[in-house]
Amino acid sequence: MAVIAITQHLGLRGTELARITAEQLDYRLLTSDELVSAASRTYNVPADALAIVDERRPTFWMRFKTDTKRFSACFRAVVLKEMARDRLVVIGRSVAQILPDIGCGVRTRLCGAIERRTQLVAAEEKLTPALAEARVRDYDREVRARIQTLFGIDIDDPSNYNLVLNVFALPLESSAKLLAAFAAEVDRAATAEQWVQMRDAALAAEVRASLVNHPKLGNAPFRVQSFRGAVQVTGLGLVPPWDELVREVVRTVPGVKSVRVTNREMTPDPWQSS
């Protein structure tokens, strides 16, 4: 069943929409906080550090900028592993960018009039209208800059999404029905091969997270790919003894059927070069 990945921004009622949609579809619901906690447990990384990928506090991530590659790899691995299990509604500031564009899910961007968003934030945080509007605008700028840095994606470009939804156009229950119907159509069109690609993407992300968390490999530039469980790691400088160390680490990841290490220069994906 299709995965629904929803962007989360101030004053757009995203968490409530995600909850209603998950209930209508009988899907699992995962929030940003839950994903950060899972990544922290899995990879033994402090939750505050992982928050650079999906944290709400402006400029917080800058304090950890030197480790963004490692932290984003950990968060991405956990998110993709959950997505590969399907039947999931997930909401966060970066989850729509993490969902692969291979036909197994719905990248959903929420939007709405700044006046309506300001009203909600003012009521929720007990701010004056002027302060609430400034908070919303500052937040939007900060999140856009962070996602651009971490993933190389402009979150304001509608072509990066499957669905852009104005949350104030309809009651939330109606918006949830629309989102659920869209996901059902995506699910009907998805093929078994596309779900194999989804599982391969999740496995490659887990392998990469394991590699970047290894004390001797964390700074090495490489690309990780998986083809039905056959993992290939490509990078300049992967010669003895480093190639065998890479193989040892990769073999510890559940689901890996074989490992191939290639010493060759490559161009990393945008999110890998952060």
Q: Cα(71)–Cα(43) distance, rounded to whole angstroms?
A: 9
Q: What is the pLDDT of residues 101-119, one digit of tens each?
A: 999 999 999 999 999 999 9
Instruction: State the pLDDT confidence band at 148, using cuts at 50, 70 and 90.
Output: confident
In this structure, the answer to whether residues 120 and 232 fall within a common structural domain is no
In this structure, the answer to whether residues 168 and 210 fall within a common structural domain is no
Instruction: State the pLDDT confidence band at 236, using cuts at 50, 70 and 90.
Output: confident
Cα torsion at 202, 254, 207, 198 (round to 10°)? -10
Q: Cα(100)–Cα(79) distance, rounded to whole angstroms?
A: 11
Q: What is the pTM of this model?
A: 0.88
Structural domain total, the chain: 2
Instruction: State the pLDDT confidence band at 269, using cuts at 50, 70 and 90.
Output: low
Q: Give ∠ CA 54-217-235 in degrees, rounded to 5.
A: 95
Q: Cα(210)–Cα(212) distance, rounded to whole angstroms?
A: 6
Domain boundary among 176, 191, 206: 191
Question: Which pLDDT value is given to residue 20?
Answer: 97
In this structure, the answer to whether residues 254 and 227 fall within a common structural domain is yes
- CATH code for the domain in which residue 231 is found: 3.30.1340
In this structure, the answer to whether residues 68 and 153 fall within a common structural domain is yes
Q: Cα(88)–Cα(25) distance, rounded to whole angstroms?
A: 9
- CATH code for the domain in which residue 68 is found: 3.40.50.300
Instruction: State the pLDDT confidence band at 54, using cuts at 50, 70 and 90.
Output: low
In this structure, the answer to whether residues 180 and 209 fall within a common structural domain is no
Domain boundary among 153, 174, 191: 191
**More reliable by pLDDT, 46 or 257:** 257
* Joined tokens for residue 5: 């990945």
In this structure, the answer to whether residues 73 and 107 fall within a common structural domain is yes
Nearest partner of 17 among 170, 135, 186, judged by Cα: 170
Instruction: State the pLDDT confidence band at 57, using cuts at 50, 70 and 90.
Output: very low
* Domain with 81 in it: 3-191
- Assess whether pLDDT exceeds 60 at residue 272: no
Question: Which pLDDT value is given to residue 238?
Answer: 84
Strand order in the sheet with 28-30: 28-30, 88-92, 3-7, 105-111, 163-166
Q: What is the pLDDT of residues 181-235, one digit of tens each?
A: 999 999 999 999 999 999 999 999 999 999 999 988 877 788 999 999 999 999 8
Write the DSSP string, 121-177: HHHHHT--HHHHHHHHHHHHHHHHHHHHHHHS--TT-GGG-SEEEETTSS-HHHHHH
Q: What is the mean pLDDT of residues 237-261?
A: 93
Instruction: State the pLDDT confidence band at 268, using cuts at 50, 70 and 90.
Output: low
